[in-house]
Amino acid sequence: MSKNHKIAGIGEILWDMFPDGSRLGGAPVNFASHCHQLGCEAYPVSVVGRDRVGVKTRERLGQLNMSDKYVFDSMDLPTGRVLVLLDSEGKPSYEILEEVAWDDLVFTPELCELATSLDAACFGTLAQRSPRTRRAIHKFLEVMPARSLRIYDVNLRQPFFSKELVENSLKVANVLKLSDEELPVLAEYFQLEGAIVDQLKALRSQFGLSHVAYTRGGDGSLIVSAGQVDECAGVPVTLVDTVGAGDSFTAALTFGLLNQWPLDEVNLYANQVASFVCSQKGATPRIPSRLVREMVQH
């Protein structure tokens, strides 16, 4: 039986505005939701506005049986929204609205208390577009226990990233998750050469990371650790949309690493969970009991 780990996703909380309606989103929230479904004590850390959408956010978190204890209120800014368009293959494109509540995260004594109690936290690049939120995220990571996992899920979104931002994030992380669309950007930033696995090894070595996980959509993933490289083929699925799939992969990856599973089992499980999410609408569908049972009974 796996330990009930305490985990947080820190950064943006927002509503994805799809052509057919709106759904709660933001990578840190999606990550926390998937971790919660897989048996963790999981918290989203973010900010909403004092508006109708902010109320709706708290209601939705309640429906997901998630705590909003660390979702704060902004006095002045509205709850975040993102306009989402899906192409013929289900891949999303985004128009991310600026000057919203999650740009206004402040490091408080409550967040310090949470951070010092965590086994893992996941953060990305987008929420760091705001200097205030960026400072809060880095202070949060700084006070986490040395043994904890600090997972940097790159999640590059135009135009909200730079070499400096990515490099500073890598320096405070000990696990990296990135996609086949993001590796070329990092390869240019850090002069990575050779085959993909060589580039991943170079990233791991250059920034002192314990693990680098590289996802490539339907073609599966690679995970690189100090002494091992594991490659997993994609799990066949009828694709509906890919929103949230990467976040679910990161959640399963995190849990497997915390419980010290063999790397090949971590990789396969993360692919199975992500493939299921790709077969459903939205970022946080209910994970079927067979997949949750597999993790809990491991």
pLDDT of residue 243: 67
- How far is residue 123's CA from residue 228's CA, in Å, rounded to a whole number? 25
pLDDT of residue 272: 87
Does residue 45 surpass a pLDDT of 50?
yes
Total count of domains within the chain: 1
**HSE value, Cβ hemisphere, 13 Å, CA-based, for 279:** 13
Mind listing the pLDDT tens digit for each residue in 68-117?
A: 999 999 999 999 998 877 788 777 777 889 999 999 999 999 999 999 99
Instruction: Record the pTM.
Output: 0.90
pLDDT of residue 75: 92
pLDDT of residue 11: 97
3-state helix, strand, coil in the chain (%, to 5): 40, 25, 35
- How far is residue 197's CA from residue 204's CA, in Å, rounded to a whole number? 11
Mind listing the pLDDT tens digit for each residue in 185-240?
A: 999 999 999 999 999 999 999 999 999 999 988 788 999 999 999 999 877 777 66
Mind listing the pLDDT tens digit for each residue in 49-69?
A: 999 999 999 999 999 899 999
- How far is residue 232's CA from residue 243's CA, in Å, rounded to a whole number? 21
Q: Is 94 helix (H, G, I), strand (E, B) or coil?
A: strand
Q: Would residue 210 count as lying in a domain?
A: yes
What domain range is 153 assigned to? Answer: 6-296
Q: Would residue 172 count as lying in a domain?
A: yes
Does residue 297 surpass a pLDDT of 60?
no
Q: Would residue 94 count as lying in a domain?
A: yes
Q: Would residue 158 count as lying in a domain?
A: yes
Mind listing the pLDDT tens digit for each residue in 119-175?
A: 999 999 999 999 999 999 999 999 999 999 999 999 888 788 999 999 999 999 999
pLDDT of residue 1: 38
Report how far apart, in Å, the C-alpha atoms of 1 and of each of 9, 43, 79, 185 are.
24, 22, 39, 40
Mind listing the pLDDT tens digit for each residue in 281-293?
A: 666 767 777 777 5
Q: Would residue 175 count as lying in a domain?
A: yes
pLDDT of residue 241: 65
Q: Would residue 225 count as lying in a domain?
A: yes
Q: Which residue has the tokens 């992969």?
A: 249
Domain with 47 in it: what CATH number?
Answer: 3.40.1190.20
Q: Is 256 helix (H, G, I), strand (E, B) or coil?
A: helix
- How far is residue 194's CA from residue 110's CA, in Å, rounded to a whole number? 45
pLDDT of residue 240: 62
Q: Would residue 219 count as lying in a domain?
A: yes
Report the pLDDT averaged over residues 240-256: 83
Mind listing the pLDDT tens digit for each residue in 1-12?
A: 345 899 999 999
pLDDT of residue 207: 97
Q: Would residue 1 count as lying in a domain?
A: no
